[in-house]
Amino acid sequence: MSIVAGMRYSAEQKETVDAEFHCRSCGHRAWARVSSTGYGSGSSPYFLDNKGAQTRAAEEASRDALAVAHQALEGVPCPRCGKSKPGGVDAFSIFTVLSPAALVGALGLLIGGPEVAAVCAGAGGVLGLALLFGHHWRAGQAGKGIQFFVGEPPDRPYVGKRCAICKRQIVIADDGTRCQACGAPFHHGNCEREHQATHAPSDAAAPPGAA
């Protein structure tokens, strides 16, 4: 068995996910924001493509952070009824456990035959369970910081969205904004004034340039 020389890079990446939350128990819907941190690694065998290895590590960390964030959104209790979504064994959990078992088991089969393969597969399964536990623990930690919004988050990108009043698309950033009270996107001018009129004065977004 040969050992390939090279560099191995580690990366840490923070991602924020805005997603629509839907409670299966009471039907409540709300926008939710969760931030999480992911970790990844990348290697460059024989010291080739070091920059690519760093990029792969960052991409893996980003995917890991997004997976944790979405898992947190799946497990967070509903802000209205307090119930959580029913748990279950999903494809991600099965893949996380079985992949190390299959990989290490195949390596054991090449080294020492079926008996060694069985032992290695068991060890790989334990490793997979540990990885799955760590993933769910991080999702639980991220879930504690979830922020719920009435309407869409006001700082969500609005370019490309349809105006809540005229229903036409907001093409460039200078054309529109989001309401600071409910997060609805709208064009500046008449659309903005018409939308603000739907809110109480204390809730309405301040006009552009206001102190």
Closest CA to 183 of 148, 149, 146, 145: 149
Backbone phi, then psi, for 3, in 5-degree steps? -110, 125
Q: Where exactly are the structural domains of the chain? A: 6-149, 150-211
Q: At what angle do helices 114-143 and 91-112 cross, to 10 degrees?
A: 150
Q: Model-level pTM? A: 0.65
**Residue 13 forms beta bridges with which residues?**
38
Instruction: Identify the pLDDT of residue 86.
Output: 65
Instruction: Identify the pLDDT of residue 1.
Output: 35
Mean pLDDT is highest, among 14-18, 65-69, 122-126, 185-189, for 185-189
Mean pLDDT is highest, among 40-54, 72-86, 134-148, 182-196, for 182-196
Write 25-30 long-range contacts (CB < 8 A, 24+): 25/78, 25/81, 25/83, 26/78, 26/80, 26/81, 26/83, 28/78, 28/79, 28/80, 28/81, 30/79, 30/148, 30/149, 30/150
Beta-strand runs (E) in the chain: 6-22, 29-45, 147-149, 176-178, 185-187
DSSP secondary structure string for all residues of 61-107: HHHHHHHHHHHHHHHSPPTTT-PPPP----HHHHHHHHHHHHHHHHH
pLDDT band (50, 70, 90) for residue 210: very low
State the chain's mean pLDDT as an integer.
83
